Amino acid sequence: MSPIQQMLLGVGAVATKTYVDDIFSTFLYKGTGSAQSINNGIDLSSEGGMVWIKQRTGQFTNSNFLFDTKRGTGKYLKSDSSATEDTSNLTLSAFNSNGFSVGSSSTVNLDYSSYQGTYSSFSFRKAPGFLDIIEWSGNGANRLINHNLGSVPGMVVVKCTSHAENWQAWHKSFGYNYSFPFNREALPDSGAANTWNSTDPTATQISVGPSVVNASGKDYVAYVFAGGDEGYNSVEFDGTGDYLSFPSSGHVAYGTGDFTIEAWLKPTSTATQVFLDHGVDDPMIGILGGKWQYYNSTVGWKYAGTPTPNVWTHFAVARESGTTRMFINGALITSFSDSFDYGSNATSIGAYNTGTFRWTGSISNARIVSGTAVYTSAFTPSTTPLTNITNTVLLCCNGDLPTSSTVNQLGTMTANGDPYTTGTSPFTSPDSVFGENEDQNVIKMGRYTGNGSESDGTEVYIGWEPTWLMVKRVNGDANWGIIDTMRGWTADGQGEVLFPNRNNNASSNANSAEVTPTGFKLHTTNNEWNGSNDTYMYVAIRRPDGYVGKPPELGTDVFAMDTGNGSTTIPAFDSGFPVDMNMNRKPASTWSWQLGTRLQGKDQLNPNTNDAEGGELAKYVWDSNAGFGADSGYDSSYQSWMWKRHAGFDVVTYEGNGVSGRQISHSLNKTIEMMWVKNRDDSKDWIVYHHGVNGGTNPEQYILKLNSTSGQHHTSSRWTDTAPTNKVFTVGSRDEVNENGENILALLFASVDGISKVGSYTGTANTQTITTGFSPRFVIIKGTNNSTYWLVLDTVRGWSSGSNDNYLKLNSSDAQASYWWGYPTSTGFVLDTTISGINGSGDKCIYYAHS
């Protein structure tokens, strides 16, 4: 149990683990004109919370309606209006233990058959580390108001419910001097100190001034969101005369041995500037030519990616046994031989040793470890302040003064110029209480600076993949914009945008941002998202990944098979969950397999060919919480196989860069056991990794091809002889997996007890039983030391004891055929055949099975 939960529940209380699925939902529905319940799994009746409903399509336009359990059903506010609380029009009628209900005569439930009304609903449950809702009556004075968030807020949104007044929003990235009018495109009020009583919120209270948000005789409600900072300081450098200097010290005389230098850095630009320097320039670490760089006179200049202005980036350089590695946000970017012999030298932080090339921006938790390579492979940067580990000789830029330090063995630290400390940092208040280990956060607030590029837009590191994102330009009039993956936010930067400050229907297929495994990357020149040198604030909510997603109880929670129903409105295939990957085809006909993912949007690939991604298919529709697809042609002759992302399955998209040894992040929270990788833009083979290849010995040195019958192939060019981990997978320079400038799709699989199994076996030429730990509904089998097809069996088409089984070949468009393969059991499946390649004597085979 986390400390926050203990505090809130009391000693002796039993806490249940909380997942992001328990506290946040995007649920899409059609209006019926009759009372209906929206079952999204969020317990609003017991725990409390807020529901935000916005019409997406329809003959009429309607406002953004906000309801909360603090004020009760039948009362709503409009985020696009300054109007008072309204109680008319029978809108939300009940908060339920698994969602909410809407009334029959309702502006949030217009009959689709008459008005084409479809709706987005965002449900936010009250929970420590996520959301609290508070009310008060104004008294016209400066005032502190208690909240129960359990952590420092990242954003506070306030509305006067009794009078027509603008919404006011405080955001951690801009502090009490700014207040954002949530219902308007307008610039923030930059003289808002009086609004927030010149005081930022704390872990227990918000502060309000005497008029705008606390006027006498007026009533207020506030939505208090987590994601704030709490006392983890950084040092701000202005780029003129500011830097920290240390005398010559033997503690940085690494010789040719191991060391680590790291910090969280937030530059205000990509101009040339130095973060750290030893002895004039050995080493010198910072930004050069718009790239992160490391230099010493032996290796020369080494580069590691493009800095993002005004965004915290974890940067680390670590040398181990003569190999130096550079890491950006925990990802290994490059490595090289490095035999430079470091001697005793003076050190400077925030400038070149002569005081030039000064840093402009913030530095937090700068740490030097002499004698240890702390990082030798990809890692997740700490979400809490760095600590004094073995061999630490310096840990600074983390205290009340610019010269404060946790460890300093280098000698007197001198502050040159006027650097100053600031309470902003890369670390959030201790709201990391979610997930299986109760150590993850699910909401993040921040800011970024746009660069005006559509092809190479600003990239924002969050540390996880968001499912919901709200953005507002700060330095000019602009709409608030919301995109989310349920409504079609894709890896290509396309998405349906809703506007909290407008009553317009959604803007579809708008360029905004690409969703990435660790945050988002801007994909537009639109100045509401990515104007050159424009400043933005954002709020992001995490998707249910392998760390914070609720574990499935049954295989049907995350994998479904269905035949088509011919519906022209989604879903043509029913799943019972939001589908993240779909494969479909006509089993009884000669027909190519079609595969698509939510992150690809309407584009599709064919697993049985090496073809590039096909053109957009209108029937590839994903915006349903219970199924996939919409087309009259999707009749009962079609079958769909559908997956939801969880700890056993993930989808990752990335742009190739041609650099061998590149590491790609994922969020299974399990070691990858099988991968299918495809170049979406080019006619290249599907490349497969499976941990059972080569009998399980060094499988990272081999590949299979999904669109081919060929057996295993020994190569180091795809995975660079590097096995995937529970955090990353490694790709080489080959075009199939990392072609420069091309879009790549990776489908990742892992075993989950009772749900899925990625395994292998050796053929016996006799009936044998393969144990999976569950009764499988679906299995793929491939011989690896021979040329056999990828066999597909499932219980929908016929796979059972005592009968011939209808089978398909994943690498072929052939119609299904019938053969006596075997049958599923309660704990696995039986191979009741001696066919060569699948169960011949000595055949080495791999499989993937799902319950």
pLDDT tens track for 373-418: 999 988 889 888 999 999 999 999 999 899 999 999 999 999 999 9
Q: Where do the CATH 2.60.120.200 domains begin and end in the chain?
A: 234-422
What percent of the chain is predicted at pLDDT more than 90? Answer: 83
Cα atoms found within 13 Å of the Cα of residue 408, Cβ hemisphere only: 19
| Cα 596-598-603 angle, rounded to 5 deg | 45
Query: Residue 27 above 90 pLDDT?
Result: yes
Q: For 508, left (φ over 0), alpha (ψ -120 to 50), or beta?
A: beta
Q: At 196, is the secondary structure helix, strand, or coil?
A: coil
**What gap in Å lies between CA 419 and CA 362, rounded to an integer?**
10
What percent of the chain is predicted at pLDDT more than 70? Answer: 98
Q: What CATH number does the domain located at 20-125 have?
A: 2.60.320
pTM, full prediction: 0.93
Of 9-18, 78-87, 187-196, 751-760, the range with the lowest mean pLDDT is 9-18
pLDDT band at 190 (very low <50, low <70, confident <90, very high): confident
Q: Identify the bridge partners of residue 155 per DSSP, sorted by sequence position.
A: 171, 225
**What gap in Å lies between CA 80 and CA 748, rounded to an integer?**
41
Query: Residue 247 above 80 pLDDT?
Result: yes
Contact (CB, 8 A) for 642 and 579 = yes
**What gap in Å lies between CA 577 and CA 445, rounded to an integer?**
28
Amino acid at 211: S
Amino acid at 520: F
- Give the single-character DSSP code of 380: P
Residue-wise pLDDT for 660-711, tens only, equals 999 999 999 999 999 999 999 999 999 999 999 999 999 999 999 999 999 9
What the block records as the tokens of 554 is 């049954």
pLDDT band at 280 (very low <50, low <70, confident <90, very high): low
DSSP string spanning 100-155? EEE-SS-TTS--HHHH--EEEEEEEE-BTTTEEEEEEE--SS-EEEE---SS--SE
What the block records as the tokens of 145 is 């108001």
Fold type of domain 234-422: Jelly Rolls (2.60.120)
Q: Where do the CATH 2.60.320 domains begin and end in the chain?
A: 20-125
Question: In degrees rounded to 5, what are phi and psi of residue 736?
Answer: -65, -30
Query: Residue 3 above 50 pLDDT?
Result: no
**Environment class of residue 380 by beta-carbon count within 10 Å: exposed (0-12), middle (13-18) or buried (19+)?**
middle
What the block records as the tokens of 752 is 């989950």
**Environment class of residue 565 by beta-carbon count within 10 Å: exposed (0-12), middle (13-18) or buried (19+)?**
middle
Q: For 228, left (φ over 0), alpha (ψ -120 to 50), or beta?
A: beta
Residue-wise pLDDT for 303-318, tens only, equals 988 898 989 999 999 9
CB proximity list for 709: less than 8 A, separation 6 or greater: 787, 788, 789, 790, 811
Query: Residue 260 above 50 pLDDT?
Result: yes
Q: What is the pLDDT of residue 781?
A: 98
